[in-house]
């Protein structure tokens, strides 16, 4: 079986003897060559994918090399052109490179100088074709992602309407039944009724969190300067009901202004501060520290508490959807909050991680690029 040629080269030179000599020389080097003395005749033979390289003389009576190259590239954009020229027309050859040629070769030809140019031209062609393939893949992937986003939007609509409507009925009817029966229900039936209402509300909260998680990856980010210290105060103020009757010692270090999406960053702080409040419930006093440290490429923020902590053996589960390290009977939650934090910070180009010890507290970190 004959070996495949290194490349298919179209050679155009109005000097017949020179064109034939070049065809034969390169054929001996493993290339498949096709030669023409007429630029117009050569142009008629060009179709996409037929040739890899075009080797054309610069000065030809019928059509100059620059015109030939421009016309050839219109028919096959992956074709790589090389101009052949004499010493006196190097400036024109440089002009040809600005018009699309990759390189030029001086006459009289030296094989030692020509072969590296051909090898480089083939490398460039492979890279161009690979880039074109990747661009096609990106376009296709973009189309698929847009279709997926539309499906997610339809799913979100279905969840928010089709699922929550019957839940509202369950909650409403169970509350109405509780009001009408008052204390007349036996203890066991009253317990069942309370559990129905509580479970329905938990499911409603889970649906809300899922919708928020779904929107987090689709919402368009609106970056703006954010005063983190001011945003933190707003978040803590909004969590006042969660701190009622609690003894919490706050240590709030100065936080810098950052460029980020204010709404999404509010979700991050709200989740992390709420977790610190929740998991320090058994502590009196609870201690929550919030601060940052400046590093070369990023600013690292942290929320540290003296709460129940966690086993570092399971820290990889913390930021997953529906992942919980404590029983619902101990601490409420849907297991989506930290997954939201990671998704938001990842979209900002940052990182998320945590450190902790059982019964010795935990520290949650996130970073933002500087």
β-bridge mates for residue 366, sequence order: 301, 352
- Which CATH number belongs to the domain containing residue 346 in this structure? 3.30.565.10
Poorest-pLDDT segment among 72-76, 84-88, 143-147: 84-88
d(CA 331, CA 45): 76
Statement: residue 237 has pLDDT above 60: yes
- Tell me the chain's radius of gyration from C-alpha atoms: 35
Poorest-pLDDT segment among 112-116, 196-200, 284-288, 334-338: 334-338
Q: What was the pLDDT predicted at 329?
A: 47
Statement: residue 235 has pLDDT above 50: yes
Same domain, 265 and 334: yes
User: Which of 175, 204, 233 is the last residue in one of the domains?
Assistant: 204
Same domain, 171 and 263: no
Residue 213 lies in a domain: no
- For residue 135, the surrounding DSSP H or E stretch is helix 111-158
Share of the chain above pLDDT 90, in %: 36
Same domain, 238 and 328: yes
User: Phi-psi category of 349—alpha, beta or left, where left has phi over 0 and alpha has psi -120 to 50?
Assistant: left
Residue 149 lies in a domain: yes
- Rounded to two decimals, the pTM is 0.52
- Considering its fold, how many domains does the chain have in total? 3
Residue 304 lies in a domain: yes
| pLDDT greater at residue 92 or residue 329 | 92
Statement: residue 180 has pLDDT above 80: yes
Residue 190 lies in a domain: yes
- For residue 321, the surrounding DSSP H or E stretch is none
Token pair recorded at residue 15: 């000097």
Same domain, 354 and 231: yes
Residue 102 lies in a domain: yes
Residue 124 lies in a domain: no
Q: What was the pLDDT predicted at 310?
A: 85
CA distances from 298 to 264, 294, 348, 367 (A): 18, 7, 11, 6
Same domain, 234 and 302: yes
Per the document, the length of the chain is 370
Residue 164 lies in a domain: yes
Q: Render pLDDT for 114-169 as a digit per residue (tens, 0 to 9).
A: 999 999 999 998 998 898 899 999 999 888 887 876 776 677 667 666 777 788 88
Range of the domain at 148: 143-204
82 phi and psi angles, rounded to 5 deg: -130, 130
What's the whole-number mean pLDDT along residues 267-276? 90
Q: For residue 203, count CB atoms less than 10 angstroms from its CB and return exposed for 0-12, middle for 13-18, buried for 19 or more.
A: middle
Token pair recorded at residue 130: 């690979």
Same domain, 152 and 47: no
What single-letter DSSP state applies at residue 161? I
Statement: residue 248 has pLDDT above 50: yes
What's the whole-number mean pLDDT along residues 258-271? 89
Same domain, 200 and 92: no
Statement: residue 325 has pLDDT above 60: no
Same domain, 228 and 360: yes
Same domain, 178 and 309: no
Same domain, 84 and 174: no
Same domain, 357 and 240: yes
> Cα–Cα–Cα angle for 21, 79, 55, nearest 5°?
20
Q: What was the pLDDT predicted at 1?
A: 44
Residue 16 lies in a domain: yes
Same domain, 322 and 286: yes
d(CA 7, CA 126): 11
- Which CATH number belongs to the domain containing residue 41 in this structure? 3.40.50.2300
């Amino acid at each position: 079986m004959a070996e495949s040629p290194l490349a298919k080269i179209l050679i155009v030179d109005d000097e017949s003897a020179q064109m034939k000599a070049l065809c034969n020389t390169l054929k001996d080097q493993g290339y498949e060559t096709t030669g023409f003395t007429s630029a117009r005749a050569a142009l008629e033979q060009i179709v996409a994918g037929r040739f890899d390289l075009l080797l054309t003389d610069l000065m030809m009576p019928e059509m100059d090399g620059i015109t030939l190259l421009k016309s050839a590239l219109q028919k096959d954009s992956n074709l790589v052109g090389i101009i052949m020229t004499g010493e006196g027309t190097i400036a024109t050859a440089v002009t040809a490179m600005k018009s699309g040629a990759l390189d030029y070769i001086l006459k009289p030809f030296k094989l030692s100088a020509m072969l590296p140019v051909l090898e480089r031209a083939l490398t460039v062609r492979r890279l161009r074709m690979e880039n074109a393939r990747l661009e096609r893949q990106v376009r296709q992937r973009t189309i698929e992602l847009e279709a997926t986003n539309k499906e997610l939007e339809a799913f979100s609509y279905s969840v928010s309407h089709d699922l929550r409507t019957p839940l509202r009925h369950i909650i409403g009817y169970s509350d109405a039944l509780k009001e009408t029966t008052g204390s007349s229900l036996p203890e066991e039936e009253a317990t069942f009724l309370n559990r129905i209402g509580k479970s329905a509300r938990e499911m409603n909260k889970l649906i809300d969190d899922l919708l928020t998680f779904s929107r987090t990856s689709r919402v368009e980010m609106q970056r703006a300067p954010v005063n983190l210290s001011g945003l933190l105060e707003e978040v803590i103020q909004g969590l006042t009901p969660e701190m009622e009757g609690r003894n919490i010692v706050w240590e709030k270090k100065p936080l810098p202004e950052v460029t980020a999406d204010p709404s999404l960053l509010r979700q991050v702080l709200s989740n992390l501060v709420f977790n610190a409040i929740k998991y320090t419930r058994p502590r009196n006093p609870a201690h929550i520290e919030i601060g940052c440290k400046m590093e070369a490429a990023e600013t690292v923020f942290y929320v540290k508490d003296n709460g129940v902590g966690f086993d570092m053996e399971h820290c990889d589960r913390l930021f997953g959807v529906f992942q919980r390290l404590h029983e619902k009977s101990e601490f409420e939650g849907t297991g989506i909050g930290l997954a939201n934090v990671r998704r938001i910070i990842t979209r900002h180009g940052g990182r998320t991680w945590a450190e902790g010890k059982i019964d010795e507290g935990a520290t949650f970190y996130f970073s933002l690029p500087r």
